[in-house]
């Protein structure tokens, strides 16, 4: 891949990825307050509430978060301003209607959802009130689709950071003042903050004035839903699968166990979401633009896979090494049982990083039904794995199930994408996968078998330093970006007083 293209991919990944990492850190500050003030059971309750609203949001959004981005990205690639404006107008009308539908679903189904989730109707009222977050989340989708589809990368980064920061500032007082009863107000205020932030930035994007009739919006909505519904069903399968995983854990290990499990997966998300966020924000629109050319699709997949591995593997190794310290720092000693889950989940995260570039090929090519079939199969496998692994190994089994899920998922997606677009991993990527996988296993074995933590650090830190140095040098060589050139660019930008653009 030419160094200029590699630099472009690396730049967008680092911009969005860096903002995702900051967002997660901000989220961890909020979670720290929840952990200290409410304990594992409070984290568990928030996890179940979020799973319920997320499941309903997935249904009510009708997949327009993906189809909207895809349509706007295609029009943006063709420089068709009129089509962009008409799509945005239709999209904003749809999100209000679907958001209201989601709100009504939460209100009317609150008793049923409470009984399914907790075995009692005691949580019906909080669930009904959480319908507000579904409405606000759907309206936010309309704003985000515009920014993402027109590839405003730096703006997307700002939106994520500012929205997360505002949400944290608004929600933490709720936990301090009202304890467990502050969870629902905190989630609502977080949704309000994100909607306000996306609205502010989206309304700064110049859109050509157009008059769109409701009949035309109906036609446009049908087109969006034609692609969006299979994606919605795929998202629904994932959301329902996640919901059943949490409901299953509530019954097997209680809310406290769910809180411990969530602590492990929230921390693991800190390290991987900066890569996945970049894939969704920039890689996917870029993939849509070349979806008809299988050779270029293969190039995009391999370059994104390589960069994702090089950026994520040092963080994954660090997670294995510092898991006990991280759990104590971001949560409390009550969450120590999350350490083992977190370490097992690291290997699943490597599979997640490898599968996502190929996974998005199906969406870029408009193969919604195939995407749905794979998501359904994968989530059935995951729920079954959770049930079996937690029965045999308790809470650590949840981490093992996550590993098995992404091992299965990566193999299946690889086979399908190879058949539809002849996309295969390059030899360099295969070597990296084998080498990085072996290194993570080595670090994990040292962390598990060496009892003295200082001896663990003595053996593992040189390994972490070596892999971090290798990844940095490889990225530098491939992109042509060296510390010297980076320093020169920064000084040049500061000297000219240029604002940071997209």
Give the start-to-end residue ranges of the domains of the chain. Answer: 3-496
Highest-scoring range by mean pLDDT, 122-126, 143-147, 198-202, 421-425: 122-126
d(CA 124, CA 363): 36
Mean pLDDT of 431-451: 92
Tell me if 464 sits within 8 A of 320, measured CB to CB. Answer: no
| Residue 481: partners with Cβ closer than 8 Å, 6 or more residues away | 7, 10, 475
Sequence-separated contacts (24+) of 384-391 with Cβ below 8 Å:
386/245, 386/248, 386/249, 387/248, 390/248, 390/249, 390/252, 390/253, 391/252
pLDDT of residue 500: 44
What does the DSSP assignment read for 331-372?
A: S-GGGTTHHHHHHHHHHHHHHHHHHHHHHHHHHHTT-HHHHH
Please, which pLDDT band fits residue 477 given cuts at 50, 70 and 90? Answer: confident
d(CA 98, CA 65): 12
pLDDT in tens, 92-123: 888 888 899 999 999 999 999 999 888 889 99
pLDDT of residue 497: 45
pLDDT of residue 110: 93
Q: Comparing 324 with 252, which gets the higher pLDDT? A: 324
Quote the pTM value.
Answer: 0.68
Query: Is residue 275 predicted with pLDDT exceeding 70?
Result: no
d(CA 145, CA 76): 12
Lowest mean pLDDT among 1-15, 110-124, 181-195, 451-465: 1-15
């Amino acid at each position: 891949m030419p160094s200029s293209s590699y630099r472009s991919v690396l730049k967008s990944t680092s911009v969005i990825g860096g903002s995702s990492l900051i967002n997660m850190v901000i989220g961890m500050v909020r979670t720290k307050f929840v952990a200290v003030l409410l304990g594992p059971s409070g984290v568990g309750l928030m996890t179940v509430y979020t799973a319920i609203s997320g499941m309903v949001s997935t249904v009510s959004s009708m997949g327009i978060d993906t189809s909207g981005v895809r349509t706007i990205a295609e029009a943006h690639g063709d420089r068709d301003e009129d089509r962009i404006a008409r799509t945005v107008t239709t999209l904003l009308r749809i999100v209000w209607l679907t958001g209201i539908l989601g709100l009504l679903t939460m209100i009317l189904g609150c008793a049923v959802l409470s009984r399914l989730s907790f075995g009692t109707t005691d949580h019906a009222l909080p669930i009904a009130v959480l319908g507000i977050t579904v409405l606000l989340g759907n309206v936010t989708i309309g704003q985000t689709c515009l920014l993402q589809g027109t590839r405003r990368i730096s703006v997307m980064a700002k939106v994520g950071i500012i929205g997360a920061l505002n949400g944290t500032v608004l929600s933490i007082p709720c936990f301090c003042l009202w304890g467990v009863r502050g969870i629902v107000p905190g989630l609502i205020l977080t949704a309000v903050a994100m909607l306000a932030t996306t609205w502010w930035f989206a309304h700064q994007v110049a859109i050509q004035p157009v008059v769109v009739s409701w009949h035309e919006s109906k036609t446009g909505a049908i087109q969006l839903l034609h692609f969006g519904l299979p994606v919605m069903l795929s998202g629904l399968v994932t959301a329902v699968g996640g919901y059943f995983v949490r409901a299953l854990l509530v019954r097997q290990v209680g809310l406290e166990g769910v809180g411990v499990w969530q602590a492990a997966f929230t921390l693991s998300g800190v390290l991987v979401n900066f890569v996945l966020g970049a894939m969704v924000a920039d890689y996917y629109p870029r993939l849509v633009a070349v979806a008809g050319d299988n050779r270029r699709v293969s190039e995009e997949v391999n370059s994104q896979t390589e960069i994702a591995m090089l950026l994520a593997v040092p963080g994954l190794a660090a997670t294995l090494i510092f898991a006990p310290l991280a759990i104590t720092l971001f949560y409390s000693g009550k969450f120590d049982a999350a350490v083992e889950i977190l370490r097992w989940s690291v290997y699943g995260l490597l599979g997640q990083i490898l599968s996502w570039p190929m996974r998005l090929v199906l969406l870029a090519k408009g193969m919604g039904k195939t995407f749905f079939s794979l998501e359904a199969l994968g989530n059935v496998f995951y729920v079954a794995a959770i049930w079996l692994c937690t029965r045999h190994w308790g809470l650590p089994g949840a981490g093992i199930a996550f590993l098995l899920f992404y091992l299965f998922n990566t193999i299946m997606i690889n086979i399908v994408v190879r058949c539809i677009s002849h996309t295969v991993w390059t030899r360099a990527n295969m070597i990296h996968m084998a080498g990085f996988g072996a290194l993570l296993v080595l670090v994990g074995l040292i962390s598990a078998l060496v009892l003295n933590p200082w001896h663990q650090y003595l053996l593992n830190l040189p390994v972490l330093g070596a892999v971090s140095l290798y990844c940095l040098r490889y990225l530098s060589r491939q992109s042509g970006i060296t510390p010297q050139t980076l320093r020169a660019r920064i000084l040049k930008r500061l000297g000219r007083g240029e604002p940071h653009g997209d």
